[in-house]
Each structure stands twice: as C-alpha cells, then as structure tokens.
Amino acid sequence: MKLSQLRFECISMLITGGIERPFYVVDIILSKILEIDRALLIAKDEMEIPAQKCEGILSMVEKRVNRVPLSYILGEAEFYGRPFEVGEGCLIPRPETELLVEELLSACPNAVRFADWCTGSGCIGITLLLENDNLTGIGVDSNPQALNWATLNTKKYDLESRFSLMLNSDPAFCEIEPKSLDFIAANPPYIPSKDLNNLMSDVKDHEPMEALDGGDDGADVYRLLFSRLPLFLKNGGILAFEIGGDEQSKLLESIAPEDLVRRNKIFDYSGKIRHLTWQKNLQ
Ligand code: GLN
C-alpha cells in the first residue's frame, strides 16, 4: 500500500472513532514505525509500505480508536525533554510534574540524597539524577508493575548505581534510615474516588487506578505519607507533593503535621496550585 493511502485509512479510522487530533496521532505513529522524520512524511506519499508494516500501523491506530493512550501504544512518553519507557501499569508522566522537578532542583541545590515516593515510571527521580550529578536517590512504589517500568528507565539512563528501587505500600515498614534524606518528592494518587468516573476513558480505563484513586477526599495517601515521611528527612529537609488543585491545597495545609512548615506553592499552566512544599523544622 502507498503511504498516502495508508495515511488516509488511518485518519479515517481515527475520525470515525472520534479521536482528537487524528492527523497528529497518525503522523506520530507513522514516523515511529517507518523511522521517518514527521516533517518528511508528506514528501514520501508515493512510498510503498510492506504489508506487514501496514498491519502493524493499522493495529496501533485501532488501539488508539479503543482509547489506549498514545504513549502506551508508542511505549514511550517525554518528560523534561527525555524519553521514558511507559506502558500498562505505570502512570504516563504529565508536563505539570516537570514543575515539581524544577522546584526541587532550585530549592535543594546542595542535596545529596532523596526519595521519589510513588515513583511510577521513575520520571521524577531519574530526571533529578540526570540534572544533578551530586544526587543519589530511592524510588518507592507499591505496584510491582510500575517498578518494572522504573527499572527499565533506570537502566536506560545507566543510573543503577545512583537510583535504588523499593517495593513498599506503607512507609511505616520501610527500611530508610531516619533523618537520612535531604528531600522527598511524591506525586501520589490524589483524585477523590467519586470523581474517577468523570475522567476520560483514556485515563480511567487504561492508566493504573492505584496511581489515580486518592480515596474519599483524595487525601488518603497524603495522610499516610505525612505520618511517616518527615521521619526520613534531615532537619531542614523538604517534602514536596504534587496535588490536585486549590481545594486540595487547603485540605493538605489543614492535615500537615506540626513539624513541617509550608514553604512554597507552585501553580500549573492553567493557574491551579499544583505542587506544595514543606520544610522540616531545623531543630
Ligand atoms: N511519579 C510518577 C509520575 O509523576 C508516577 C506517579 C503515580 O503513579 N501517581 O508520573
């Protein structure tokens, strides 16, 4: 089949399926599978695509029609300008999470050791390590499937000696030295259970529920983390959470333990409070 015809068929499938940005989706898939730069696809209209490749491409498009997220179909998502391997079982890194990394890099320039709680693909921890050579870190997650992705990404960036991964669902049973960390970052599940149904099918039917569902008021995991994580921080250490917005910010300020002092609020691209940081008392 000629590339022009294949492209036309893919776009028709996506439009019929009601998929947003059909031209973008198809060009990303074609360029990945055919290994042709996206901008050059248009000049290759007459190129004959072998049947097997056509089948592969059409089945990827079919997956997208079934609302499988594009990042899972490609097996890759970009975070902080770098590719991360992703698939079922780990949350797809979101652009607003990059702001949490930026904040920690500027707030903790002299840090040497950190933890990335609910590490998922490992995108936060790995990016911090790649941006600051003095750091070593621990990536923690309660889901073994997510840790498989974090392991792949740790290897991809040759960080095995600087990023250790830990399976843990309750920080009360976690072998991290008390007062050993300069900061802890976490992007925990924070969507109130009753709101999960309003999420788009791409998210709620494909991304892991344990990475999204924050319980009745969305703060179940924050409560768990607040109860233990400060113990692992050095005095003056920083705790940084991604959060669900202004309302959740108020809730978290009201449940934060007394030995933490609120430090910074970071707004996302739509003007919502997206990250909160606290500092552990210096004494
Ligand atoms: N830390 C990962 C991310 O920010 C995964 C977060 C999660 O699973 N809730 O994308």
Is 122 among the domain residues?
A: yes
User: Which of 88, 118, 169 has most ligand 1 atoms within 8 Å of its beta carbon, as the pocket-test mutant?
Assistant: 118
- In this structure, are 98 and 175 located in the same domain? yes
Rounded distance, CA 184 to CA 180, Å? 11
Q: Say if residue 283's pLDDT is above 80.
A: no
**pLDDT tens for each residue of 188-202:** 999 999 999 999 999
User: Which of 86, 98, 116, 123 has most ligand 1 atoms within 8 Å of its beta carbon, as the pocket-test mutant?
Assistant: 123
Report the chain's mean pLDDT, rounded to a whole number: 96
**pLDDT tens for each residue of 25-81:** 999 999 999 999 998 988 888 899 999 999 999 999 999 999 999 999 999 999 999
pTM, entire model: 0.94
Q: Say if residue 219's pLDDT is above 80.
A: yes
Rounded distance, CA 222 to CA 91, Å? 18
- Closest protein CA for atom 10 of ligand 1: 93
- Closest protein CA for atom 3 of ligand 1: 93
Rounded distance, CA 185 to CA 240, Å? 5
Distance 188 CA to ligand 1 centre (A): 7
Instruction: Indicate the residue type of 257.
Output: P
Q: What is the mean pLDDT of residues 111-138?
A: 98
Q: What is the mean pLDDT of residues 140-149?
A: 97
Is 259 among the domain residues?
A: yes
- In this structure, are 17 and 102 located in the same domain? no
- In this structure, are 250 and 138 located in the same domain? yes
CB 188 near ligand 1, within 6 Å: yes
The pLDDT assigned to 282 comes to: 79
The pLDDT assigned to 42 comes to: 84
Report the nearest atom of ligand 1 relative to the CA of 242.
4
Distance 200 CA to ligand 1 centre (A): 18
Q: What is the mean pLDDT of residues 118-126?
A: 98
Is 83 among the domain residues?
A: no
Tokens of residue 41, six digits = 């696809």
- In this structure, are 130 and 50 located in the same domain? no
- In this structure, are 119 and 35 located in the same domain? no
- In this structure, are 96 and 61 located in the same domain? no
- In this structure, are 96 and 149 located in the same domain? yes
**pLDDT tens for each residue of 73-107:** 999 999 999 999 999 999 999 999 999 999 999 99
CB 60 near ligand 1, within 6 Å: no
Is 217 among the domain residues?
A: yes
Q: Say if residue 169's pLDDT is above 90.
A: yes
Going by pLDDT thresholds of 50, 70 and 90, the confidence category of residue 124 is: very high
CB 153 near ligand 1, within 6 Å: no
- In this structure, are 57 and 110 located in the same domain? no
Rounded distance, CA 185 to CA 183, Å? 7
Is 75 among the domain residues?
A: no
The pLDDT assigned to 171 comes to: 95
CB 97 near ligand 1, within 6 Å: yes
Going by pLDDT thresholds of 50, 70 and 90, the confidence category of residue 281 is: confident
Tokens of residue 112, six digits = 């040497």
Is 34 among the domain residues?
A: yes
- In this structure, are 104 and 225 located in the same domain? yes
Which CATH number is 190's domain given?
3.40.50.150
Q: What is the mean pLDDT of residues 136-152?
A: 97
Tokens of residue 150, six digits = 């974090």
Q: Which domain holds residue 257?
A: 90-280
Number of domains in the chain: 2
- In this structure, are 128 and 203 located in the same domain? yes
Is 84 among the domain residues?
A: no
Length of the chain (residues): 283
Report the nearest atom of ligand 1 relative to the CA of 116.
1
- In this structure, are 155 and 97 located in the same domain? yes
Q: Give the pairing of strands 260-267 and 273-280.
A: antiparallel
- In this structure, are 162 and 41 located in the same domain? no
Tokens of residue 126, six digits = 């790995």
Q: What is the mean pLDDT of residues 209-219?
A: 95
Distance 118 CA to ligand 1 centre (A): 6
CB 174 near ligand 1, within 6 Å: no
Is 85 among the domain residues?
A: no
